[in-house]
Structure 1
């Protein structure tokens, strides 16, 4: 028996229950640097119970599709943003909470240049680049205590491209 998740394009509306889409869509909030740079201001809701925001670099291994989704995780004490340090799309998997476990997952593929911010306590898959390099800047909570919960599925989900 298999359970399949079809990948859909990432959009603000579809991703809103889980987090923020980070991109330069629309008109800049203001022009800076002698009018040569558009500032797209305050694009993510960074939310921490305690600790501070920190910037880390992640260098993830590229994955191929179809992909078996065996585990999801969440961070109860802080949001977590991923900004690609390249122009390649990547896979984003999220799920609503269902009594303390992930509900039915959704899979999105970003457009070139998009990043994402998972809201605090949102179930999500691991960082999943689809192309080299797998280099990302991550902005998340730095503080004491564990900020990670994992859920392993009894039966993995299969993630594949929609036709």
Structure 2
């Protein structure tokens, strides 16, 4: 808990960038799965074939995670930029490592918005959560409709959210 608090203090104002969130747990899962899948090749093709299979599977899995993380980071950055352009106040954007989800916490005066999802390219999902209410969609769908998504989330979070807090 101390580490999380100190990292938030150092990023008091949003600098205009979203931090990288490469998830070591996902990379570990990819490597373990690749090792298990490659071990099947030992009786049939020997250690050399298993080593080649491990290298291909783990390299491919790591690349897919990096591409998924990049896509989620770009979506997060696009949403935050559009909110700031529309007049939303962003204090900071920090990354989180809770659970098996890659996530960023967008700190606003009205509360914390969590943007994240599963960062593995073929199944990359974007999720947005605010005040315990969340929504999930395919990252490709979110990317195709980013303007409409940012606008509807802005209305819900910054306009309606601030109206209910003042009431």
**TM-score class, shorter:** under 0.3
Structure with a larger share of its residues in helix: 2
Relative contact order, higher structure (CA 8 A, sep 6+): 1
TM-score with structure 1 setting the length: 0.24
Q: TM-score, normalised by structure 2?
A: 0.24
* Structure whose CA Rg is larger: 2
